[in-house]
Chains A and B, each alone.
Chain A
Amino acid sequence: MSDKTSQPMAGNPPGSDPLDDLYRFIESDLLGALAHRYGTNQEQVDAELAWIKRRSWPWVAHGVCRTADHARLFMQRESEDRAKAACMSCPVRTECLADALDNHIQFGVWGGMTERERRALLRRRPTVESWRALLEKARAEHERALAIAAQRTQRHIREHQEDRNDAS
């Protein structure tokens, strides 16, 4: 390194350096190239935001979509049916749908519902304060109903077997 070049150049304010200015220019050029490569339209940015929000929730680790390409879930309308079908067997479907409804996430398939279906649901039920609470309550009731039905079935089977034993 030569001594004559190790000092800031004359005419520049302290801390300013023509190389810094050039680098800022290079950076803006690079960002332009990345914008071209990754796209900047509003729909894409919104889809990315939806994907990021989904990733931030702890239940995502258990979702069947955890390894899916986000473009399939958020960008391509024709693949909505496939995404919805995958949701049907997902163990965290309730949490997923509840977070999407509570946070008014507009893009993608969440908990087996498309953006249009969620919008319609929100319009139909504008007074719901916590979808999480509502859906969890509904799930608990559903599970209780299933448990009661299972108990009844078992009782019927037991009674039927007892009747057969008595008859024989």
Chain B
Amino acid sequence: MTGATPKDRWAGPVRTGEDFERFYVEYRLRALAWIHRKQHSWDDATCQDVAADAWAALYANVGRIERARAYLFRTLNAKITDEGRRRRAGPEPEHPPTERADPWADPEGLALLPAVLAQIRAELHEVLVAVHDLPETLQDAYLLRVGSQPLTSAEIAEVLECSPAAVDVRVARARAQLRGRFSAERLAHFEKIARRTG
């Protein structure tokens, strides 16, 4: 049940500045997505700043990083925590950012779907809500595992600071909880959609 692809080169090291640039191009949006999911009330500029801090830390350690993706997501988590602390400790901003819609449920994003897939938007939203309702530890492990460039158990363990066995347990629990949210008929329907979209 690993589901991880050993082919992704960024499971390995970032040796040079050119490596770093390629890695950035491939994972730039995933890093932003990770921050938006964890802190969906932050504005875009703050998310970009936090991401830039994490990428800068990575760039400063080029040549010493053995597992690029694990390093990136671990650093993102650390920077998100730092920014959260800084905001809590600092004065209230004069113009607090307006609450923004969660990008995972962003209707603008869904509008980018091809028209033929428009009919499954409601189902997508249902799955999205179910994933967001997972406890954060399960959600993190699950999303790092099932994404389009899934991380290995060892990488996720490094990100979440737990053992690889604990990662597998969390992913299995997340899957079980998600399946538990839906009836057998609904799951069969999802299976049909998954075949179409996959």
Q: Interface on A for B, CB 8 Å cutoff? A: 1-2, 4-6, 9, 11-12, 14-38, 40, 45, 48-49, 51-53, 55-57, 70, 103
For this complex, 18 residue pairs linking A to B, each with C-beta atoms less than 8 Å apart, are A1-B180, A2-B180, A5-B183, A6-B176, A17-B146, A17-B179, A24-B198, A25-B124, A25-B198, A26-B104, A26-B128, A27-B33, A30-B103, A33-B103, A34-B109, A36-B108, A37-B44, A52-B56
Q: Are B179 and A26 in contact (CB under 8 A)?
A: no
User: Within residues 163 to 198 of chain B, which ones have a CB less than 8 A from any CB in chain A?
Assistant: 175-180, 182-184, 187-188, 190-191, 193-195, 197-198
In the complex, what residues of B have CB within 8 A of residue A57's CB?
Answer: 60
Given pairs A5-B184, A27-B143, A29-B109, 5 additional interface contacts (CB within 8 A): A9-B187, A23-B131, A26-B104, A33-B108, A56-B56
A26 near B24: Cβ-Cβ < 8 Å: no
| A70 to B52 alpha-carbon distance, docked (Å) | 11
Q: Is the CB of A31 within 8 A of B30?
A: yes
- Verify B24–A49 contact, CB threshold 8 A: yes
User: Contact between A22 and B56 (Cβ–Cβ < 8 Å)?
Assistant: no
| CB of B106 within 8 Å of the partner chain | yes
The 7 A-B residue pairs with the shortest CB-CB distance in the complex, in nearest-first order: A33-B109, A1-B180, A15-B1, A21-B194, A55-B56, A18-B194, A56-B56
Residue of A20, A36, A48 with most chain B CB atoms under a 10 A cut-off: A20
Residues in chain B near residue A15, CB distance under 8 A: 1-3
Judge if B74 is at the interface, Cβ distance under 8 Å: no
Instruction: Determine if B30 and A19 form an interchain contact, defined as CB atoms under 8 angstroms apart.
Output: no
Least Cβ distance of A111 to chain B in Å?
18
Q: Which of B1, B25, B33 contacts A45, CB < 8 Å?
A: B25
Q: Which of B98-124 contact A (CB under 8 A)?
A: 103-104, 106, 108-110, 112-113, 123-124
State the CA gap A136–B21 with chains docked (Å): 28
Report yes or no: A30 in contact with B197, Cβ–Cβ below 8 A: no
Tell me if B154 is interfacial: C-beta within 8 Å of chain A. no
Question: Contact at A31–B112, with CB atoms within 8 Å?
Answer: no
CA distance A26 to B113 in the complex (A): 10
Q: Quote the shortest CB–CB distance from B82 to chain A (angstroms).
A: 14
B residues less than 8 Å from A37 (CB atoms): 44, 103, 108
Q: Check A36–B36 contact: CB distance below 8 A.
A: no
Nearest chain B residue, comparing its CB with the CB of A35:
B29
In whole angstroms, what is the CA distance A157 to B108 when docked? 73
Closest to A16 in B: B3
Given known contacts A36-B108, A49-B24, A19 and B198 CB-to-CB distance under 8 angstroms = no
Give A31 to B147 CA distance when docked, in angstroms. 11
Contact yes or no, B182 A29, CB < 8 A: no
Shortest distance between the CB of B120 and any CB in chain A (Å): 8
Alpha-carbon distance between A35 and B72 when the two chains are bound, in angstroms: 19
Q: Which residues of B contact A51 (CB under 8 A)?
A: 52
Q: Among residues 1 to 57 in chain B, which have CB atoms less than 8 Å away from a CB atom of chain A?
A: 1-3, 17, 21, 24-25, 28-30, 32-33, 36, 44, 48, 52-53, 55-57
Q: How far is the CB of B126 from chain A (nearest CB, A)?
A: 9
- Docked CA distance A62–B195 (Å): 55
Q: Does B127 contact A (CB under 8 A)?
A: yes
B27 CB to nearest chain A CB (Å): 10
For B179, list chain A residues within 8 Å (CB). 1, 5-6, 17, 19
